[in-house]
């Protein structure tokens, strides 16, 4: 009787962080490190000007400052466009090549992309470098989704939040490495720029041998490949113990429940009525992540730093200081996400971003006549970044992954990634088009979107801490059923 009860309702035990689990997490998170490094390197205006410094002497069609600015803007915009394509490629790749196999392939593509970008900088192949930035965007789009997807599937429920959020910590490590390397005394010169752009290729190349010996996702092996014995062996290695039957039973139940969702594609997911509420939640989270106003805050941050610093060269040190602060905040988030929960951190983060959007708009408008207000705008810009790093940046990816079962998770993450990169692209376009006419008031658009996301999260998103994927899935289905029943009762009355 007792055995039957435990089989029907398996209670997940608290698992420890083993060496194999930690090693697999770190190896996969090198993809996030590459993402942070590439993001800074490709989008940094100073490095862009270095890469295109000789173009006015070599090209007849690029003679004016306006035409150069247009080319640089296009070079920036092509990166999120590549990320958009990368997110769309993820779904079929992870289901056919596996989670580990996709990471291996993307690291191989990253080696090629880094080599081509360095080559284009050596030979001053400007048009070719724009194309390569598109390839770098594809790599970035896949890394941004693939790393958390892999980690969330190898982690136990009680450690899932902290381990998955670790990918954001590695992303910041990549950013700070790029910021250090971009100094003129290291790689921040025209002659050394190829070394800087090629650095991620070295990381990717060194990562590949370690990935070969890393474990595949046990959830992928059992549910999607029907290889229970191999999944059991992998779980024993990851958990550092022989008794993993509680997790195997959970996977069996999930496999049985989602028989109707087998071979779930993006198109079938979009048309599924049972998963509609899940999908709306994903769109709200991923869209809100980019529409929180982070693009505007980063746009104004350099202007704000210039207003309080006497030397332009000190801006680099300011950026390093801010990134170090965000690393500390991310470490705190990692330690808190499995104790205080996802929902609280999401609401707190979006609330901070929303308030800072209003205060930044007000102070930036008054700062023209009162230069001393630059210290306040600096404070609120950094506070905005902290708020974004508490909730919107790390937790949106985590909750998106936790809302779905195995066979639909990759397709759902493709949709979420597409929304994320599309809104990243749109927020950049909207801000760059509006800012010359509206100035800091353009931030108020993002304030509205950020506040709307806060309200939607409060009303829609459940707490997923310490829950199995099966429990979260059933909770949302039950909530949607109750809402439908309530609506039908109201219509009947």
User: CB-based contacts of 51: which residues, under 8 Å, 6+ apart?
Assistant: 121, 126, 129, 193
pLDDT at 224 exceeding the cut of 80:
yes
Report pLDDT for 326: 95
Between 67 and 438, the more confident residue is 438
Q: How many CA atoms lie within 13 A of 134 on its CB side?
A: 10
Q: How many CA atoms lie within 13 A of 429 on its CB side?
A: 12
Map tokens 């899935």 to a residue.
473
Exposed / middle / buried, residue 339 (Cβ in 10 Å: 0-12, 13-18, 19+): exposed
Per-residue pLDDT of 87-135, as tens digits, reads 888 888 888 899 999 999 999 999 999 999 999 888 878 778 888 999 9
> Helices 406-438 and 126-154 sit at what angle, rounded to 10 degrees?
140
Give the CA distances from residue 93 to residues 99, 155, 411, 418, in Å, rounded to whole numbers and listed in that order: 8, 21, 11, 15
479-482 long-range Cβ contacts below 8 angstroms, 24+ apart: 479/277, 480/276, 480/277
Report pLDDT for 106: 95
Per-residue pLDDT of 35-63, as tens digits, reads 999 988 888 877 877 777 665 445 544 55
Report pLDDT for 486: 67
Between 402 and 406, the more confident residue is 402
For residues 188 and 55, give the distance between their C-alpha atoms in angstroms, rounded to a whole number.
18
Give the CA distances from residue 298 to residues 170, 228, 337, 381, 382, in Å, rounded to whole numbers and listed in that order: 20, 47, 25, 8, 10
Per-residue pLDDT of 174-208, as tens digits, reads 999 999 998 888 888 888 888 998 999 999 999 99
Residue 155, phi then psi, degrees to nearest 5:
-90, 145
Report pLDDT for 217: 94
For residues 460 and 450, give the distance between their C-alpha atoms in angstroms, rounded to a whole number.
15
Lowest mean pLDDT among 296-300, 338-342, 392-396: 296-300
User: CB-based contacts of 320: which residues, under 8 Å, 6+ apart?
Assistant: 176, 179, 180
User: CB-based contacts of 255: which residues, under 8 Å, 6+ apart?
Assistant: 222, 223, 406
Report pLDDT for 202: 94
Helix ranges restricted to H, 213-341: 218-219, 228-239, 245-257, 266-270, 276-290, 294-308, 314-336
Map tokens 């207000």 to a residue.
373
Mean pLDDT along residues 14-18: 86
The CB density around residue 240, as the number of other CB atoms within 10 Å, is: 14
Give SS3 for 145. Answer: helix
Mean pLDDT along residues 68-81: 79
The pTM score is 0.88
Report pLDDT for 257: 76
Structure tokens at 417: 């990634």
Per-residue pLDDT of 231-264, as tens digits, reads 999 999 999 998 999 899 988 888 887 765 556 7
Report pLDDT for 275: 82
pLDDT at 30 exceeding the cut of 50:
yes
The one-character DSSP state at 461 is P
Between 454 and 426, the more confident residue is 454
What domains lie within the chain, and their CATH numbers?
17-214 (1.20.1250.20), 263-493 (1.20.1250.20)
């Amino acid at each position: 009787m007792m055995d039957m009860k435990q089989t029907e309702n398996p209670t997940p035990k608290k698992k420890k962080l083993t060496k194999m689990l930690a090693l697999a997490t770190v190896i996969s998170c090198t993809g996030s490190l590459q993402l942070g490094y590439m993001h800074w390197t490709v989008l940094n205006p100073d490095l862009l000007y270095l890469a295109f410094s000789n173009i006015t002497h070599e090209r007849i069609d690029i003679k004016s400052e306006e035409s150069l600015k247009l080319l640089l803007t296009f070079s920036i915009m092509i990166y999120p466009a590549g990320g958009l394509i990368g997110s769309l490629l993820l779904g079929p790749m992870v289901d056919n090549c596996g989670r580990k196999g996709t990471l291996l392939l993307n690291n191989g593509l990253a080696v090629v992309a880094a080599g081509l970008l360095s080559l284009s900088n050596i030979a001053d192949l400007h048009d070719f470098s724009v194309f390569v930035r598109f390839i770098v965007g594809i790599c970035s789009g896949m890394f941004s989704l693939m790393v958390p997807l892999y980690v969330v599937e190898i982690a136990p429920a009680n450690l899932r939040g902290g381990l998955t959020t670790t990918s954001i910590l590695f992303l910041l490590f990549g950013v700070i490495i790029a910021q250090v390397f971009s100094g003129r005394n290291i790689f921040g010169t025209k002659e050394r720029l190829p070394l800087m752009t090629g650095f991620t290729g070295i990381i990717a190349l060194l990562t590949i041998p370690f990935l070969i010996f890393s474990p595949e996702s046990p959830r992928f092996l059992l549910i999607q490949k029907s290889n229970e014995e191999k999944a059991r062996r992998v779980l024993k290695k990851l958990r550092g113990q022989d008794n993993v039957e509680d997790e195997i039973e959970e996977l069996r139940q999930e496999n049985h429940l989602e028989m109707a969702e087998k071979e779930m594609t993006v198109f079938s997911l979009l048309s599924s009525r049972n998963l509609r509420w899940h999908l709306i939640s994903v769109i709200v989270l991923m869209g809100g992540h980019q529409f929180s106003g982070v693009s505007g805050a980063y746009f104004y941050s350099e202007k704000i730093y210039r207003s309080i610093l006497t030397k332009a060269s000190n801006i680099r040190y300011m950026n390093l200081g801010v990134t170090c602060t965000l690393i500390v905040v991310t470490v705190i988030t990692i330690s808190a996400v499995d104790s205080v929960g996802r929902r609280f951190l999401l609401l707190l983060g979006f609330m901070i971003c929303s308030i800072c959007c209003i205060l930044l708009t007000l102070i930036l408008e008054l700062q023209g006549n009162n230069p001393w207000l630059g210290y306040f705008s600096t404070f609120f810009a950094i506070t905005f970044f902290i708020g974004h790093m508490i909730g919107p940046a790390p937790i949106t990816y985590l909750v998106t992954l936790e809302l779905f079962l195995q066979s639909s998770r990759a397709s759902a993450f493709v949709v979420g990634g597409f929304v994320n990169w599309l809104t990243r692209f749109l927020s950049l376009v909207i801000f760059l088009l509006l800012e010359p006419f509206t100035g800091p008031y353009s931030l108020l658009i993002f304030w509205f979107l950020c506040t709307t996301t806060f309200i939607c999260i409060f009303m829609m998103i459940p707490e997923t801490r310490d829950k199995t994927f099966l429990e979260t899935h059933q909770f949302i289905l039950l909530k949607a059923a109750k809402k439908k029943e309530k609506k039908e009762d109201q219509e009947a009355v």
